[in-house]
Chain A
């Protein structure tokens, strides 16, 4: 009798000391997640290091099915690549790292393929409301709203100059929404400079000087923004700059040695570097740092997409098709990298961060719910 108690006690102590995580027995089945990324995002070879780590440490579903990542770089026609990717055996969902223009070109193909797709970087308003699409990044509308309100109501800027790229769908829409909102808030949009003017011996700089411009809202890509920053530096023109989400990541992946140019620039983003990661994400970040990498906006978005997908797959317990899509598009709460997030009709509800760049890091100024 006494020995039985001893054994029971030891068992109790042993089980109490065990990690409470559920033990998953591998089923042997593999589910493929396609990653469709434009060349721009894959230009940095370390860009998707986080995916490999997630595949390794968060790669099993509760039923023991294994998640496998298939990355496809879009170099030519995104439609062709998308169609190729969805033909992959056992593919259950696609996570896209494509720009707004490329995503808009896939609109019909997505409906046809009936494979749930999670958008991580395309912010265009027209991408909302597509049946098989869930977007975990900000929309242009909310980004423009926050940008305009921050400049008007926090920094009390009466007049702003917009720098846009008329050939870029993203830049066009974001600039237009910003201008609209900024004017609604009583602000004045003085100049609107198209990046095409950058080539004409940079006369735009003289315009900025003549108009005594002190605040810029820029929506141009990293390359054109760099040209702008160089010209501003050359002219010793000190201006406040507010940029868009992913700006710092794009810029640093192309110009890692020019990080100093970005100091003092404000950005509206999905993420900030000084935020406290939630426990699971902190574990992943630890793994990332072991490989000499640092978590950035795109890593955080990859993480959010993965966690949403995993939670939805677990909820559907193997019944992927419609169940998975329904869960992806409408989820009350899932654990993102830094916040608990939710999905409503394919659009995410997530805080927007206004950050200031300092030494290649985004430091949070305000968090907008």
Chain B
């Protein structure tokens, strides 16, 4: 490897490089000059050498860059360990000795520079805000940059940008920020965004960040980490333009040049091909292959156009994306139709209830599930939720009328079935629907989310059947109706509580999900939301009570199977235990294993001991198994 004979070492602070250069083993004579001396008369140093070895802060590098181009100096950086962007962008080493070896090589190549508003820049130009993407300020620490980034993240807003490219292509859009660079490596995100850029292709890359909500921006940050050169699909919030020149004509948008110099738009940047002779490590040249005749590239499908951008230019971005009526026209149309009462709905409600009632009487899970799928009650509830969110009174009213009529039809049909069919007592399917707990509310909430989500995505709308099964609406109604028909009011209340739990849970969860999905940035019908939430709280109380009852029973069951009783020297093992409640009376059903039979007195003693453990009076149902 050949090395340069002479070089000028320009520094602004004392550096370890000075001593190492003095004793360099490559035979290069280095004259050491402070930046202040050099700036006074740069051309005078040309007589000694025309290669600058630069160890300076960003702003001084910037000054030297202008002079290097002007007086045709070649340059090489000797970065300090703190100058991470320089090290990463140009592929320097953390070893000062290695960097000196690279800087003194006689292997100079020309690189492009960005020329903005009559000055040269070598790293990047940022317009607007792109928090947490790039280093906000080169001289600040990572932590302070991060804190500033997080602050900006929650204050994000979109600016109007009128961009003109070298080929006079006009892009009028709204974006939070732009980054222009021809080759920069600093953060993982920046590296991913500029993975295909080069300092030797005669063009600049522009990344336009245009999220419609804070969540969208967050999603973009996450997704860009998964972005790879193989999968070149850009995240939704990102657009990409590559050109020789960009002019941004809008006014007063903040601009940061090379991470240190602040200014405001308008700004015009163009690429100055091969503007600077430069020395860098081999890996830099490998990543910056010389390319010629690159075409202008414009990928802006993700950007709002001039017509759309007006509504995005609010003070700050909303947390959730606001969906336009146009964008979700089809869904609204479907939901409006879903909210309207029609004979098909009444017919289906009647049929599904009859099927559910038969399934409940026959204790057939399959028939009950069939009724769940057939039941049309989910659609008006989802429509009600959308009405609640968007403040569409008519949709809400129609949906509510439809739900109420559906309930009346279901209760009447199932009551009639209970009167007509012979009494078969409480089947397992009926019993399963008269003791709702908080767990049922949990199912309803998640089913409501699933319903709203599947309804808002055309491709998965068919999944609503699954949702309907998960949170059955008609079987509990049928149970309530059967309770009415048989005058068993605890069956009616249990079944109706389960139905009501599902109804309220779905409605509220679907409303929140629709908001999360961006159908509105706020719940418009606040009074209705409060009313539904209040009902949910009221419903939750009995559910909580029955849940704690179940937990108590579970605890008793688990305790009982570890319990043994010694009565009159007879060792009694409890192998299974179960507690059922009816009308405030607990029936403890146990299977005991015992060596000899127990008489009435001994069974009474056993009951007393169990009552003492349970701390309440119980009925005891004992099944005996003998060990011989």
Contact = CB atoms under 8 A, between A and B. Distances in A.
Interface of A: 142, 145-146, 149-150, 153-154, 181, 185, 352, 364-369
A140 to B, nearest CB: 14
A367 B595 contact: no
Contacts of A146: 564, 566, 571
B46 to A, nearest CB: 80
B571 A369 contact: no
B563 A366 contact: yes
Contacts of B573: 153-154
Interface string B552-575: 000000000011111001010100
A368 B613 CA distance: 12
Contacts of A149: 564, 566, 571
B593 interface: yes
B562 A185 contact: no
A145 B566 CA distance: 8
19 contacts: A142-B566, A145-B566, A145-B569, A149-B564, A149-B566, A149-B571, A153-B593, A153-B595, A153-B627, A154-B573, A364-B562, A365-B562, A367-B562, A368-B564, A368-B565, A368-B566, A369-B563, A369-B564, A369-B613
Interface in B573-599: 573, 593, 595
Nearest to A352: B566
B595 A185 contact: yes
A367 B566 contact: no
A177 to B, nearest CB: 11
Nearest to A365: B562
User: What 4 pairs across the A-B complex have the smallest Cβ distances?
Assistant: A149-B571, A368-B564, A369-B609, A366-B564
B563 to A, nearest CB: 5
Contacts of A369: 563-566, 609, 613
Given A153-B595, A153-B627, A185-B595, A367 B564 contact: yes
A245 to B, nearest CB: 15
Nearest to A333: B612
Contacts of B595: 153, 185
B562 A366 contact: yes
Interface centre among B562, B563, B566 (most CB of A within 10 A): B566
A145 B563 CA distance: 15
A364 B558 CA distance: 13
Given A146-B571, A149-B566, 13 more contacts: A142-B566, A145-B569, A145-B571, A150-B571, A153-B595, A154-B573, A181-B569, A366-B564, A368-B563, A368-B564, A369-B563, A369-B565, A369-B566
Most chain B CB neighbours (cut-off 10 Å) among A149, A185, A365: A149
A190 B566 CA distance: 26
B409 to A, nearest CB: 51
A94 B627 CA distance: 45
A352 B573 CA distance: 14
A270 to B, nearest CB: 14
A113 B627 CA distance: 49
B163 to A, nearest CB: 64
Interface string B607-628: 0010001000000000000010
A146 B595 CA distance: 14
A146 B571 CA distance: 8
Contacts of B609: 369
Contacts of B593: 153
A153 B562 contact: no
Contacts of A352: 566
Contacts of B565: 368-369
Given A366-B563, A368-B565, A153 B613 contact: no
A366 B574 CA distance: 10
A181 B570 CA distance: 11
B563 A367 contact: yes
Nearest to B606: A369
A368 B567 CA distance: 10
A154 B574 CA distance: 11
A185 B565 CA distance: 16
Interface in B358-379: none
A366 B593 CA distance: 14
Nearest to B564: A368
A366 B559 CA distance: 10
Q: Which of B564, B565, B573 has the most CB of A within 10 A?
A: B564
A140 B517 CA distance: 71
Contacts of A150: 571
A356 to B, nearest CB: 13
Contacts of B613: 369
A268 to B, nearest CB: 12
Nearest to A340: B612
A353 to B, nearest CB: 10
Q: Which of A142, A149, A185, A369 neighbours the largest number of chain B CB atoms within 10 Å of its CB? A: A369
A26 to B, nearest CB: 35
Nearest to B559: A367
Contacts of A367: 562-564
Nearest to B560: A367
A145 B564 CA distance: 12
A368 to B, nearest CB: 4
Nearest to B566: A368
Contacts of A185: 595
Contacts of B566: 142, 145-146, 149, 352, 368-369
Contacts of B564: 146, 149, 366-369
A251 to B, nearest CB: 25
Contacts of A142: 566
B411 to A, nearest CB: 46
A352 B563 CA distance: 10
Nearest to B563: A367
A149 B596 CA distance: 12
A365 B609 CA distance: 19
B243 to A, nearest CB: 71
B505 to A, nearest CB: 34
A187 B116 CA distance: 100
A365 B564 CA distance: 10
A149 B593 CA distance: 12
B570 to A, nearest CB: 9
A352 B609 CA distance: 14
A120 to B, nearest CB: 21
A209 B33 CA distance: 95
Contacts of B627: 153
Nearest to B561: A366
A72 to B, nearest CB: 35
A290 B573 CA distance: 39
A185 B563 CA distance: 20
A145 B569 CA distance: 7
Nearest to B613: A369
A268 B182 CA distance: 80
A269 to B, nearest CB: 14
A146 B570 CA distance: 10
Nearest to A149: B571
Contacts of B563: 366-369
A325 B612 CA distance: 26
A330 to B, nearest CB: 17
Nearest to B593: A153
